[in-house]
Amino acid sequence: MPLLARFVTAPLVVEVHRGALSELAAILADQRISTSGRVAIAVGPTHGPIVQRTFEHDLVEADWFTVEGGTINTAVKLVEQIRQQRYDAIVGIGGGTVLDVTKFAAARLGLPMVAVATNLAHDGVASPISTLDNDAGRGSYGVPAPIAVLVDLDLIAQAPPRSVSSGIGEIVSNLSAVADWEAAHALQGEEMDGLAVSLARTSAQAVVNHPGGVTDDGFLATLAEGLVLSGISMVVAGTSRPSSGACHEISHAIDLLHPDRRAFHGEQVGVGAAFAWFLRDEEEMFRTTVDCLHRHGLPVRPADLGFGLEEFAAVVEYAPQTRPGRFTILEQLDLGPARIKAKVDEFNDHVYARIATADGSVTPEGRVL
Ligand SMILES: [Zn+2]
């Protein structure tokens, strides 16, 4: 009887624990990624010098590069610097920006990339996508996924709490993204991938159902592992589909229309996911999403992101244009401006009622205390 299976490209190493950074040299050698330690290491301007001190006696053959800003120009500059020498691999140590720039540079140079996350703000740590600012606003570029992924919980504990929490919005949005994918499959015949769905949805559910918060290691490990699996779900699917639907279209629209008012990516997609569940008229999932975001102190309503209801309605109206060809609840309902505004108003009232019911921490004007 034949044993049929498919091969899934996955990282050689996934390490999520305290002190993971100090194992970098051993992992590079043990996994034959770089036996000589001749690697290019990209770091951000803030944490770079601190991180570099960890390697006083390790990785002496490595060269260090500072990455400032997440633009395509920064990535191209890094390519120019790195191509002067021969390296076995590129290591990115930092938050989303550093990892996105490093992934793009590694793809251009054809070198394997090792991701060391110092933050959990989004699911880019293991994903095959690099998000960079360009002249047209912000673009997503397909790149090979990292060959090794390290999440050092000591570093995560030092990251700004708001940025770590935003990763919760990112992963919760998977549930909404998968619902969009299922609708696209049912209504448009779009192909689905059950393995990608399992990875994306299960990782989100693990975080939603976890009773802890960002101050405890157990929760952080679940969040980190969830974001890693989310990235792998995109590798399996070959697109960002399992983690990106109407929630992300709304976030991209905020990025493009209001670059000066961008919040954390995970905060924006969390609000987008809550709004998408409201549009689907799925009360239970709407409540689950709102409760999860609110419990972890994340924005839920447009005002929490600094937008008036008219402004948010304009964002929603623009959202489908950010990802042409992706069928989500926004394209499915295809609401005109007046109905969008009515839905945004209704959504706002519903969230207010839900939060007030949950803990009474809302003023009569709807301001979250
Ligand atoms: Zn995302």
Is residue 365 a part of any domain in this protein? no
Is residue 4 a part of any domain in this protein? no
Q: For residue 36, how far is its CA from the centre of ligand 1 (angstroms)?
A: 35
Is residue 8 a part of any domain in this protein? no
| Boundary of a domain, candidates 124, 158, 192 | 158
| Boundary of a domain, candidates 142, 158, 174 | 158
Does the annotation place 281 within a ligand binding site? no
Q: For residue 265, how far is its CA from the centre of ligand 1 (angstroms)?
A: 7
- Which residues fall within 8 angstroms of residue 239, CB to CB, at 6 or more apart? none
> Does residue 44 sit in the same domain as residue 68?
yes
> Does residue 25 sit in the same domain as residue 144?
yes
Length of the chain: 369
> Does residue 146 sit in the same domain as residue 178?
no
> Does residue 140 sit in the same domain as residue 171?
no
> Does residue 129 sit in the same domain as residue 166?
no
Does the annotation place 97 within a ligand binding site? yes
**Where do runs of H (alpha helix) occur along 31-160?**
48-53, 72-82, 96-109, 153-158
- Give the span between the Cα atoms of 176 and 286, in whole angstroms: 10
Q: For residue 38, how far is its CA from the centre of ligand 1 (angstroms)?
A: 32
The single-letter code of the amino acid at 285 is: M
Supply the pTM of this predicted model.
Answer: 0.93
> Does residue 185 sit in the same domain as residue 139?
no
- Which residues fall within 8 angstroms of residue 109, CB to CB, at 6 or more apart? 79, 82, 83, 90
Q: For position 86, what pLDDT does the model report? A: 95
**Which tokens belong to 205?**
């559910």
Is residue 266 a part of any domain in this protein? yes
Does the annotation place 96 within a ligand binding site? yes
Q: For residue 266, how far is its CA from the centre of ligand 1 (angstroms)?
A: 6
Does the annotation place 122 within a ligand binding site? no
Q: For position 318, what pLDDT does the model report? A: 98
Q: For position 364, what pLDDT does the model report? A: 46
Rounded (to 5) percent helix, strand, coil in the chain: 55, 10, 30
Mean pLDDT, the chain cut into blocks of 10 residues (369 residues total): 84 96 94 94 88 84 94 96 96 94 97 95 92 86 95 93 96 98 98 98 98 95 97 95 97 95 96 98 97 97 97 98 95 97 98 83 53
| Boundary of a domain, candidates 158, 185, 204 | 158
> Does residue 108 sit in the same domain as residue 180?
no
Is residue 3 a part of any domain in this protein? no
Of 239, 80, 216, 88, the residue nearest 161 (C-alpha): 216
The single-letter code of the amino acid at 362 is: V
Total structural domains within the chain: 2
CATH of the domain at 246: 1.20.1090.10
Of 97, 91, 170, the residue nearest 132 (C-alpha): 97
Q: For residue 26, how far is its CA from the centre of ligand 1 (angstroms)?
A: 31
> Does residue 257 sit in the same domain as residue 310?
yes
Does the annotation place 61 within a ligand binding site? no
Does the annotation place 127 within a ligand binding site? yes
Does the annotation place 100 within a ligand binding site? yes
Radius of gyration of the chain (CA): 21
Of 181, 187, 195, 200, the residue nearest 326 (C-alpha): 181
Does the annotation place 344 within a ligand binding site? no
> Does residue 85 sit in the same domain as residue 184?
no
Is residue 6 a part of any domain in this protein? no
Which domain does 64 fall in, by range? 13-158
> Does residue 68 sit in the same domain as residue 52?
yes
Is residue 7 a part of any domain in this protein? no
Does the annotation place 120 within a ligand binding site? no
CATH of the domain at 28: 3.40.50.1970
Is residue 368 a part of any domain in this protein? no
